[in-house]
Structure 1
Amino acid sequence: MALAPAAVSTGLAAFLADLDRPTPYLVLDPEVIAARYVTLTAAFPGARVLYAVKACPEPEVLRTLVALGAGFDVASLPEIRLCLDAGADPATLCLGNPVRAPATTAAAHAAGIRRFVTDSREDLADLARHAPGASVLVRVLVSDAGSATRFFGKFGALPGEAVALLRRAGSAGLHAAGVTFHAGSQQVRPAAYVRAVRTALRVAAAAGLRRPVLDIGGGLPVPYRSTVRAPAEFGRAVADAVAEAVGAGVVEGVELVLEPGRALVAEAGVLRTRVLRVSRRPGVDHRRWVYLDAGRYQGLAETEGEAIDYPLRVPGRSGPCGPVVLAGPTCDGDDVLYRRTPCALPLTLGAGDHLDLLCAGAYTASYASVGFNGFPPLSVHVI
């Protein structure tokens, strides 16, 4: 079964019916987030869900997920504070960023955080000193081929080094709880998780862990302009890989954890923009250039490399369409959203028209600059 690009929810449609609200802005529907949470927990039965706060740290989003029983993958002290203010139990938080200052580790530990991710000997030494007795997951370097945004190389220890780190943890006064990995953002291949699970569990076994925590990270895909595999397919692939390892005696069992961000919040948001200008560029490009009041620096950072191709909608315009280049409002030459990705918009499109980017709940407001070129941060509304 595949997931097709989603329609806008009834709540979002009602909010967007008001055409007089100043743009650009992001609007979020918590009911969609709740529905996606139910879908994911059904796809990964028995797994602990830690929401990746960086995807969309809006307080109402966090409160919605606290009420549903989610935990949280946090990367910094401000994210920890946001979760605690939303009512989260610190025991449900995992500090998953393995690059942090010793003071951050100490403050997180003082706040009640007891689970940390590490991938280096240097960080393990800091954990031993500033978070004594904490549980640690070692991040294993795995292939992220098939993902839209690749992480390979920045984080994660090679399997041999990961085994050494797990063995060192106990002698350093820490609890070696298990292993984690990230198969890349917008990962469309279930097989990528199968290979990663096999690698991670071999690491756990080599370190003597018989019932490790197995944190498969995030990266589950969202249907933007094309269909993707449903979460249940990824869940079955992971379950089969775990069962294979248990059957072969590699481990006796696992405590499964996943860290969805995009998969929970992307379809809950619409980023509404307004067209500033439609220009012809004789001798430069045969297509129309459409300039919006939001671009790379106002929440659309994931269009870098045209990695994420948001579905587009033009309220109130219909009729024949033609190809366009889509660009943002700043004077930065990199502020072009789609030059290679095919985009066709109504031939009647003009300055002042609205243009909506759908499935924009993830990595938009949290990526927006605080004032590049004088443009303010992206406004956020929660219905």
Structure 2
Amino acid sequence: MATDFMPALVEPTQGETVTIPMANNQLSPKVSSFFTEANFQDPHLVVDLEQVSLNYQNLNKAMPQAEIFYAVKANPEQQILQELADLGSSFDAASLSEIESCLALGISADRISFGNTIKKQRDIAAAFNKGIRFFAFDSAEELRKLAESAPGSHVFCRVLVNCAGAEWPLSNKFGCSLEMAEQLMIEAQQLGLIPTGFSFHVGSQQTQIHQWGLALNQIKMLYSSLKLRGIPLTHINLGGGFPTQYTTDIPSIEAYGQGLELALEQQFGEQVPKILIEPGRYIVGNAGIIEAEVILVAQKQAQDERRWVYLDIGIFSGLAECMDEAIKYPISIVGKESNTEVGSVILAGPSCDSVDVLYKDVAYQLPLDLKAGDKIRIHSTGAYTSTYSSVGFNGFPPLKCVCI
């Protein structure tokens, strides 16, 4: 799929507004024809499966030493899972429902990990009964639940690491300290589980490759210490974080692969453990485009230079990652030429909630002749959109996803 991206932007300082020009409206012939023929009346996400496949293959080529566990939560559409399963991917599931979706496609249980560190006891038991043997945890209570309901399973302990450089940081909700992680792995062995390795996540849309190296430096200390205690670990789960292209330039996936290979060599030499990665955004992000509609273009007072543009999609209907203007999606308008005269706008969703504002500090540049009824396309929206959509807030339908 052809990708249409905007030039690098400079992040605003406090009180400053940064402007972003309109994206060029370039689509692959397949996607362009589909939009023309479909003529959607409500917002739709269209995912190009050929781009999903290409992204997987590029990642596999860049990091051949890693086993890919696709993060199902990024986009769990059955056609996407099937496409990736056919390519040989494994899968990282965050819930029993995601596990069942994978199993329903004939994906074997040994290709699925239960990667959420917050699980109900009965869901652990159900997953274990379905053949799942890879589980993540980051607390003593979760470990004991695993020992009771998934005896003898392989377990990863998730460690807290720095998320600097991530456009969608994961803060401190997941993971535990290095000291606690070491003690928990000792307890895991005592409880009859198989302490397999450590996992970490440097934050989603991570733009600083060296963050993995910093985390691995900490992980290496844990591996060495536990080996001395008679617990030789076999795996490292590097998590996700590999970015897709939005409005700023990012390193190539080859650069990420080279950076990780160097970091692993520096820490482990020729004794590198088995490597797992959990990409989501990189695999499906730039494979998706949302087509939506302009509902209203308005000014709050006559002298306002910036217009308010209200769309039929917003925070509650799939664009949750626009909160705090964290993810800045490329935008194009259907039927507008690249030389169309533009002006700064505030973009907002349709709901009766004041939180439903997409971009205000970061000002997008959209055509001055923009009006209600115009079609707008939001690019690189294949990840974390349709599943973030509410089931009907204010009565608006949830975002539909179509794979082609």
Measure the CA separation in 2 of the matches of 1:285 and 1:327: 16
* Structure 1 CA distance for aligned equivalents of residues 29 and 253 of structure 2: 23
Aligned ranges 1:1-383 → 2 under 5 Å:
5=5, 8-18=27-37, 20-208=39-227, 209-210=231-232, 212-247=234-269, 252-282=271-301, 285-318=304-337, 319-383=340-404
Which portions of structure 1, spanning 4 or more consecutive aligned residues, are displaced by more than 3 angstroms? Answer: 3-10
Tell me which amino acid in the other structure corresponds to 2:329. Answer: Y
Cα distance in 2, alignment partners of residues 284 and 364 from structure 1:
35
CA RMSD of superposed structures (Å): 1.6
Q: Shift of residue 362 of structure 1?
A: 0.3
Deviation of the 1:11 alpha carbon: 2.3
Q: What one-letter code is carried by the residue in structure 1 that aligns with 2:403?
A: V
The answer for unaligned runs of 5 or more in structure 1 is: none
Deviation for aligned residue 1:4: 8.5
Instruction: Report the more deviating stretch, 52-61 or 283-292.
Output: 283-292
Q: Deviations over 1:185-237 (max 9, x none)?
A: 11000010111122122212222254521110001111101110111111111
Amino acid at match of 1:367: Y
Distance in 1 (CA, whole Å) between partners of 2:376 and 2:4 is 21
Q: In structure 1, what residue type is equivalent to 2:5? A: P
Is the 1:133–1:173 contact (alpha carbons within 8 Å) kept by the matching residues of 2? yes
Q: Is the 8 A contact 1:204 1:212 kept in 2?
A: no
Contact 1:321–1:347 (8 Å) recurs in 2: yes
Q: Residue 62 of structure 2 contacts residue 254 of structure 2 at CA under 8 Å; is this kept in 1?
A: yes
The one-letter code matched in structure 1 to 2:262 is D
What TM-score, normalized to structure 2?
A: 0.91
SS of 2:192's equivalent in the other structure is: coil
Residues 294 and 222 (structure 1), Cα distance of their counterparts in 2 relative to 1, 3 Å cut: same
Does the 8 Å contact 2:195/2:233 carry over to 1?
no
Contact 1:211/1:253, CA 8 A, preserved across alignment = no
Kindly tell me: are residues 84 and 140 of structure 1, through their superposed partners in 2, closer, same or farther at Cα, counting changes over 3 Å? same
Q: Structure 1 vs Structure 2: percent identity of aligned residues?
A: 38
Partner of 2:21: none
Q: Is contact 1:4-1:223 (8 Å) kept? A: no
Aligned residues: 378
Shift of the alpha carbon at 1:283?
6.8
The residue identity in structure 2 corresponding to 1:55 is A
Structure 2: segments with no counterpart, 5+ residues: 7-25
Distance in 2 between residues matched to 1:99 and 1:267, nearest whole Å: 29
- The amino acid of 2:382's aligned partner reads G
Contact 1:24/1:379 (8 A) holds in 2: yes
Give distance in 2, aligned partners of 1:169 and 1:285.
62
Cα deviation for residue 10 of structure 1 reads 3.3
User: Is the 8 Å Cα contact of residues 210 and 253 (structure 1) preserved in structure 2?
Assistant: no
Contact 2:52 2:283 in 1 (8 A): yes
Contact 2:220 2:268 in 1 (8 A): no
Moved more, 371-380 or 62-71: 371-380
**Alpha-carbon distance between aligned partners in 2 of 1:144 and 1:239, rounded to the nearest angstrom:** 20
TM-score after normalising by structure 1: 0.95
AA aligned to 2:237 is D
Q: CA shift at 1:8, angstroms?
A: 3.4
